[in-house]
Structure 1
């Protein structure tokens, strides 16, 4: 079995999900006051990251948790509706060339996976019309149907992406040398190195340097 693994932010989606999520909360007609709590929570790790004394991965994980804390009291239905509102704003910014590749892989009987640090309800909402076999993202916990913001989430990023991919494909015979992976950042390197056909999509400088040195395909 061949697989095609797609990153989301900067790859399948041309922009950054978290920036849009922040703006949606800040400007929401009902929930904008929650943004203040979120902002207060993320400023210390954000400033620490800017001062190069706090790791980026930890800053991102703290930000994801802080966002959920700001949404406390949301039911599962309310949270899914909230993310559906965000998804509606994203469709025009999907990367058409990458979406075309995804559909072609499906036509070629390649097993398509989406692997992202974005929240699962958002990923499902924004890709509901795309033929993706498996979505791996940051899971949200609930307790009695209400968002459980106190339970730490596992933010899917870096090497954890490859772990989750291998876990999802456990027991399958994968033809890695004839499989594909798409990513835009240096942190996607472990996933890109899994396959014989890595593709750098609008890559940041560090990934571009690797892609050029190894003669990987680059989608501009």
Structure 2
């Protein structure tokens, strides 16, 4: 079996999900009062990251946790409706060339996977019209169908993406040499290195340099 693995932010989706989520909370007609608490929580790790004294991965994980904390008291249904609102704002910013690649992989009977640090219910909402076989994202914890905002969240990023991909595929025989992976940043390299056909999509400078050195395809 061949696989085609897609990153989301900057790859399938041309922009950054978390920035849109922040703006949606800040400007929401009902829930905007929650933004101040979220903002106060994320500023220390964000400033620490900018000063290069706090790792980027930890800053991203803290931000994801803080966002859920701002939505405390949400039921599962309310949260899915909220993520649905965000999903409706995203469709015009899909990378159409990557969408066409996805559809071509489906036509070739490749198993298509989406792997992202974005929240899983948001990924399901925004890609419900796309032929994706498996979605791996940051899971939202619930207790009795209420958001468990104090439960530590496992943010899917870096090498953890690779672990989750291999876990999802289990003991299936994968033709890695003829498989594809698409990503836009240096953090996607562990996934790109899994396959024989890595593709850098609108890559950041560091990934562009690496892709050029290794003769990877660049979109």
- By the TM > 0.5 criterion, same fold? yes
Deviation, structure 1 residue 107: 0.4
Structure-1 residue corresponding to 2:29: 29
State the distance in 2 between where 1:177 and 1:56 align: 31
Deviation, structure 1 residue 111: 0.1
Any idea what SS the aligned residue of 2:32 has? coil
State the distance in 1 between where 2:212 and 2:142 align: 44
Structure-1 residue corresponding to 2:126: 126
Correspondences of 1:24-103 after superposition (within 5 Å): 24-103=24-103
2:146 aligned with 1:146, yes or no? yes
State the distance in 2 between where 1:153 and 1:172 align: 28
Structure-1 residue corresponding to 2:218: 218
Q: Structure 1: any 5+ residue segments left out of the alignment?
A: none
Structure-2 residue corresponding to 1:197: 197
> What do residues 44-98 of structure 1 show as CA deviations (whole Å, max 9, x unaligned)?
0000000000000000000000000000000000000000000000000000000
Structure-2 residue corresponding to 1:8: 8
> What do residues 119-159 of structure 1 show as CA deviations (whole Å, max 9, x unaligned)?
00100000000000000000000001100001000000000
Any idea what SS the aligned residue of 1:33 has? helix
Q: Structure 2: any 5+ residue segments left out of the alignment?
A: none
State the distance in 1 between where 2:182 and 2:59 align: 24
State the distance in 2 between where 1:173 and 1:130 align: 25
TM-score of the two chains, using structure 2 as the length reference: 1.00
State the distance in 2 between where 1:90 and 1:3 align: 25
Task: Number of aligned residue pairs: give it.
Answer: 219
Runs of 4+ off more than 4 Å: none
Structure-2 residue corresponding to 1:208: 208
Any idea what SS the aligned residue of 2:177 has? helix
TM-score of the two chains, using structure 1 as the length reference: 0.99
Deviation, structure 1 residue 39: 0.2
State the distance in 1 between where 2:216 and 2:49 align: 31
Deviation, structure 1 residue 162: 0.2
